[in-house]
Structure formats: C-alpha cells, structure tokens
Chain A
Amino acid sequence: MAKRTSDRRMQVYGALLLLPAAVLLGTFAYLPTVATLINSLFLPGFRGSPPEFVGLENYALLIEDRTFWKVARNNLIYALGTIPTAIALALGMALFVNGRLPGRGLVRMAYFTPTILPMIAAANIWMFFYAPQIGLFNNLLGALGVTGPNWLGDPSVALTSVIAMAVWKEAGFFMIFYLAALQSIPPELEEAANLEGTSRWSFFWRVTFPLLMPTTLFVLINALINAVRVVDHLFILTKGGPNNATNLLLYYVYENAFSFFDRTYAATITVIILLVLAVVATVKFTVLDRRTHYQ
C-alpha cells in the first residue's frame, strides 16, 4: 500500500517536472501545427468578416499554382544539388584530415569555419563574389577576357549559385561526423588489408565506406532537414528571384504570409513542408533507429 502511494507520488512529481516543457511545446510546436492544418482549410476573412471554411480549396489552388510547382521543383533541385555534393566533399575532407597531413589542424579549421558563420553573413560574403559588374568572380573572369554570367540574375544560373554557397556552408559540418566515425574504425582492418595487398581504392569502397554507412545516413537526414528549413541566404542573395528561379518552399511561405498577407495559403504550403518533414522523420525513426536505440 505504501509502495502504491509512493508510486503515485512519483508519477505526480514526474508530471510536474514535465509541465514547463509540455506547456511550451504545446504552445509553440503542437498548437501551431494543428492550427496550420486547420487554417489550410479556410480562406481569410476580408474586412473583419470571419474566415470562411472552404474545405480543400486551398489545396486545389496549390495544385494549379504554377509558382508553387516551380518552387517545389527548385527545392528538389536544391536538395539534389547540395546534399550529395556536400556529403562527398565532407567525406573527402574527413579522409584528408584523418591522414598524415602537414598542417592538419589548419586545414581542418579551414574546412570547419564556414559552419559557425550565420547564413546571413555567409550570403553577404558570397554576394561580393556573385555581383554582376563589381563582383570578384566576374572581375577575375574579365581579367582572363571572359564575360562571366550574371550569377544571381540569370534564371538559368542563379539556383546553381545558391547551391554552391550552401555546399560551402554545410560540408565542414558534416566532415566532423565522418572524422569521428573514421577514428573509430579499428586500425587492424587497414593493416590486414595492407598485408594482403588490397589497393587503397578497393579498401575504401569495400571496408571504409560501408562502415561509414550509419554516419552517411545520419548526415543525410540532417542535410534533408536543412534543405527545407534554411532559407536565410535567399534574403540576401536573390529574394527568391529572378522570377522565382531560386525560390524555395519556406521562403515562399514567408512571402505569402508576410508580403502577400495570405495567411491561409501560407498555411497550405506549410502543410506540404510538414509532410516532407514527416517523411524524413519516418525514415529516421524506422530505418535509422533500428541500429541506434533510444533506451
């Protein structure tokens, strides 16, 4: 009996400990998520009239919105452009600085430093490179007698320019996870491979790379999330332009909500982002966490 009351007291105590976090998460995570879902079913009320329930009309609008499709396609290209490149570079960097390299500390620092800059600052710096007339790239190209493209103003180049900057910003961050993973691979493996005369190339693909798979998956999940979450650089580099050539989903949400004041349409696009994140989360919890347990 005494045991049961003490259990009950433990439960109450535990619940009280959870309370602050629960209230905050409720207010700033669950409530807004539910409100987003609900709002996507309404049209905003005009001149003080209440919002009007329209069912799935916003979604019908979304399907016919060519800008939305363009933005979604941009975001896909952005993800496909940044993620594999950043991961490959990160792996290369990790292999470099894991080796016996003169000035290893400096090299590692150079790779990692972009990670701790704010995206806004990084974008400012890259703006100096990309600007059409006065920018560094076109000045250097001009010195070689080549007329450089309008890096951010030409719709066929702009998204690639944005991708290049994002890769620069992210690769060093992913590198440290690879580096840690490389350092945990037992050296005996390589010694054995050396004795058998395995080439470094095949050692990498047959041993190192498979052993790094959990790290690659972890990095991949993070990179996917960042591809939909981080749009700060667009505010400086392109503002989504020219003609939406570099617009990404979250930036499109921002535009709809705070420039066009169409809150319910912004909510509808947010639902799409939430769906993407839900897929990423499901992959993480089902595929990845079979190896890493939460207990």
Chain B
Amino acid sequence: MTTPTAAAPTTPSRRLVRVPSLETTAAWLLAIVWIFPLLYALWAAFHPLAFMVRFDLLAPLTLDNFTNAWNQAPFERYYLNTFLLVTGIVAAQFVVCTLAGFAFARFPIPGKDTLFMLVLIQLFVFPEVLIVENYRIASGLGLVDTITGIGLPYVASAFGIFLLRQTFKTIPRELEDAARVEGCGWMAVLLKVYVPLAKPTYLAYGLVSISHHWNNFLWPLVVTNSVESRPLTVGLGIFSAPETGVNWATISAATLLSIAPLLVAFLLFQRQFVQSFLRAGIR
C-alpha cells in the first residue's frame, strides 16, 4: 500500500538535507528503546562485573561470565532436556493433531460440531491454568519429574487440531478421490495427499510450538524437581533467583546462553518466524 509516510507531503528541500522526519525519528527511538534491554544484557555478559553500569567503550571484553555460568549450573543437561522436550512435543503434536484434524475435516462423526467446540475450549483452558489438578494427574501416572510429564499435557493441542483441520478442509476432494481410485487406504491418502499439501501449516505450527515450549516455564517448574528433567527456563529461573546470590554478570551470561539458540534461529529465519506467528494467529 502507499504508506502513511508517503502520504505526507515531503518537501524537496527536506530530502536534500536529509533531516529525518519526525515519524522516522520516533520509529527509531522506539526501536532503540525496545532493543536496548537485549543490548544491555549483551554488554553485561561480555564485560567484567565492574562495568555493569559503567559504559566505557574501552572496557575489557571477557568470556569469564559464560565460563562461570556454565560451571555453576548444569547447562549442558538443561540444553539436552529442552531439546528432547521440544522435539518430543512437536513430533507428538504433529501425529496426534494430524489424526484428529483429519477426522474433523473429512469423517462423518456423529456430534462432530459439538466435539469440535469441546476441543476449542482448550484454546482457553491451558494446562498451566490447571497446574494443581494436572500435577495430581501427572503424579498418579508416575510422570512427575519426567520430560514426558512436562510435554504430555500439551500434545493434544486444540490449536494444532484447529489449524490442521482448516488446512485439510481446503484440499480438494478430487485429489483424495484420485488416490482412492488408485487403491490407497485412508492412511495412505492422509500420508500421500493431505500431509504433503499441508507442509506450510506444519512449518508454521512447528515454529510456533517450538518457540512456545522453549520458553514455557510454569508447568515445567511445577512438574520437575531435579536436574535430570528440568528444561532451560526452569534451570535459569532457579539459577537466577535473587536468593542464590549469583552475580549479575554471570546471570546475564546464563540468560544469553538460554536464549541463544532460539534467538539465533530467529535472526536467521526472521521471515519464517513472523509468517508462522501470523499464519498461526489469524483464524
């Protein structure tokens, strides 16, 4: 579209001296304010503690804070746990939500609309809202302090079922019929026709789910109680709790360590991330 800026009458003289417009200045100021906390965390992590609030361009750079953080908490274990958790959840969500989405899109199940509304309730009632009872259920199933216990409540995601149902519904029946004429069963139809055509949805949903579960905190905090199962967020939360007395430069480094993989992935694949959030958000 022609943009609001373009609509403003820009006088030629202004262009000549290149004075940024008020709007440009405001946009940039806001951007600086917005990115500042992250830049500050970088500053704090790469400089000795003495320079936390002394902004000296010649301050010595150091990696000590990262070494300290790495030595003071089992970050390699936390990385492994988060990695297992996130891949496990996304894989399980893909399977469960694909089956359910397919059923809702194509099968004549009695009371289907009511069932679907029931599923959509989970868009509002999240596992973390029900921490008290979910903890009891997880402990009844022997899942407390396991990675499965953190992930399982999120596997049947209403959001995933909804997205895949919408996508499957847009796929022309003729494609399905063609496959069936060739003698494909339902599973083959699903795997050969529907799933490949829904690839963009899987990518979008996968990225949203990865960032959600990489960052999730409350339920993992409640359901874990040892290093063996804690994900990065919980490890970081415990490490940086004020009562531990760990110094700030180290906490900064630990914070960056925890967010680095997702942040780097985001910076590299910005467009895909933003597109995914959009695709997944707009219903």
Interface residues of A (CB under 8 A from B): 7, 10-11, 13-15, 17-18, 20-25, 27-33, 35-36, 39, 89, 92-93, 95-103, 106-107, 109-122, 124-129, 134, 136, 139, 168, 171-173, 176-177, 180, 182-183, 185-187, 190-191, 194, 200, 203-204, 218, 222, 225, 228-229, 231-232, 235-236, 250, 253-254, 257-258, 263, 266-267, 270, 273-274, 277-278, 280-281, 285, 292, 294
Contacts and interface: CB of A to CB of B under 8 A. Distances in A.
B131 to A, nearest CB: 7
A280 to B, nearest CB: 6
Contact of B40 (A107, A125, A229): A125
B48 to A, nearest CB: 14
Interface stretch (B57-65, B70-78, B198-206, B255-263): B255-263
* Closest A-B pairs by Cβ, 9 of them: A14-B107, A32-B133, A24-B156, A99-B5, A118-B215, A17-B103, A28-B153, A21-B100, A96-B27
Contacts of A292: 283
B249 to A, nearest CB: 10
Given A27-B137, A270-B129, 8 more contacts: A13-B107, A28-B137, A29-B127, A31-B133, A39-B132, A116-B266, A190-B2, A258-B222
A257 B131 contact: yes
A74 B120 CA distance: 29
B252 interface: yes
B109 interface: yes
B102 interface: yes
B156 A28 contact: yes
Interface string B115-138: 110111111111111111111110
Q: Which of A25, A97, A120, A200: most chain B CB closer than 10 A?
A: A120
A270 B248 CA distance: 35
Interface in B43-70: 44, 52-53
Q: For the complex, would chain B's binding face be called helix, strand, loop or mixed by DSSP majority?
A: helix
Nearest to B185: A13
B263 A116 contact: yes
Contacts of B215: 116-120
Nearest to A140: B53
B255 A124 contact: yes
A295 B273 CA distance: 27
A226 B104 CA distance: 28
B53 A136 contact: yes
Contacts of B132: 32, 36, 39, 253, 257, 263, 266-267, 270
A29 B122 contact: yes
Contact of A218 (B222, B242, B252, B281): B281
Contact of A182 (B1, B95, B237): B1
Nearest to B35: A110
Q: For the complex, would chain A's binding face be called helix, strand, loop or mixed by DSSP majority?
A: helix
Contacts of A124: 41, 236, 240, 251-252, 255
Given A28-B153, A190-B2, A33 B34 contact: no
B221 interface: yes
A48 B36 CA distance: 54
A218 B34 contact: no
A106 B267 CA distance: 11
B222 A254 contact: yes
12 contacts: A25-B122, A97-B27, A100-B5, A116-B266, A118-B216, A120-B233, A125-B41, A222-B281, A232-B217, A235-B237, A250-B129, A257-B132
Nearest to B134: A32
Contacts of B86: none
Contacts of B197: none
B99 A20 contact: yes
A169 to B, nearest CB: 10
B241 interface: yes
Contacts of A35: 133, 136-137
Contacts of B109: 11, 14-15, 18
A22 B156 CA distance: 8
Q: Which of B3, B37, B123: most chain A CB closer than 10 A?
A: B37
B53 A109 contact: no
A180 B134 CA distance: 37
B259 A121 contact: yes
A101 B131 CA distance: 45
A167 B270 CA distance: 22
A24 B152 contact: yes
B143 to A, nearest CB: 10
A94 to B, nearest CB: 10
B248 to A, nearest CB: 6
